């Protein structure tokens, strides 16, 4: 059983692919969650942006992890960036269970060149402790592999320092 959890939401598949790569490199448990809202196609895209701007959330569908969130050495939470904010399902998770996350890292996936570092502070407002590590990745960009691998190395270094 892994002591690292990669927990994420993905609308288009970019965050799913990124988190799968990170989980594989770290031999981490990988769990996807959703709020069950249809966010496909053009209508879903606009609904997602509007939900993010309004900071609205919907109840999450049940998901299972191997152990309680607070028992992992590190939870890596993956979110796409929508309208300069974390995805609404991620905000919903943080609102409902953020206090269970005392050792958390963030992975943001984005479509633009902007790094959206202010999103980390938004997410931290719901957690028991501020995040420990972060990565803002643009899948398909020239620097994607470099920054993804740097994040993986940072996680490995953090975990080695904790033993």
Of how many residues is the chain composed?
163
CA angle 126/130/131 to nearest 5° reads 105
Segment holding 96, helix H or strand E: helix 88-97
Q: Are 9 and 25 in contact (CB under 8 A)?
A: no
Q: Which helix (H) or strand (E) holds 141?
A: none
Q: Determine the pLDDT at residue 134.
A: 98
Give the 3-state secondary structure of residue 78: strand
**Of 52-56, 82-86, 117-121, which has the strongest mean pLDDT?**
117-121
pTM of this prediction? 0.92
Contact predicate 47/37, CB 8 Å: yes
Rounded CA separation 35/39 (Å): 10
**Could you tell me which residues come within 8 angstroms of residue 125 by beta carbon, excluding any fewer than 6 positions away?**
none
What is the tens place of the pLDDT at every residue in 124-146? 999 999 999 999 999 999 999 99
Tokens of 152: 């993986």
Judge whether residue 53 has pLDDT over 80.
no
List, for residues 33-43, the tens digit of each pLDDT value: 998 878 888 88
**Would you place residue 51 in the very low, low, confident or very high pLDDT band (cuts 50, 70, 90)?**
confident
CA distance 41 to 98: 30
């Amino acid at each position: 059983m892994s002591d690292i959890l990669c927990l994420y939401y993905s609308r288009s598949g970019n965050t799913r692919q990124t988190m799968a790569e990170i989980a594989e490199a770290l031999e981490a448990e990988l769990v996807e969650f959703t709020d069950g809202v249809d966010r496909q196609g053009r209508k879903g895209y606009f609904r997602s942006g509007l939900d993010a701007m309004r900071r609205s959330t919907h109840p999450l569908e049940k998901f299972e992890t191997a152990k309680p969130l607070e028992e992992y050495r590190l939870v890596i939470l993956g979110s796409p960036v929508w309208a300069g904010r974390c995805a609404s399902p991620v905000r919903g998770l943080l609102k409902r269970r953020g206090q269970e996350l005392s050792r958390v890292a963030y992975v943001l996936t984005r479509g633009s060149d902007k790094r959206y570092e202010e999103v980390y502070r938004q997410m931290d407002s719901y957690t028991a402790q501020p995040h420990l590590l972060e990565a803002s990745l643009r899948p398909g960009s020239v620097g994607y592999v470099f920054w993804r691998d740097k994040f993986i190395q940072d996680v490995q270094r953090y975990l080695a320092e904790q033993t």
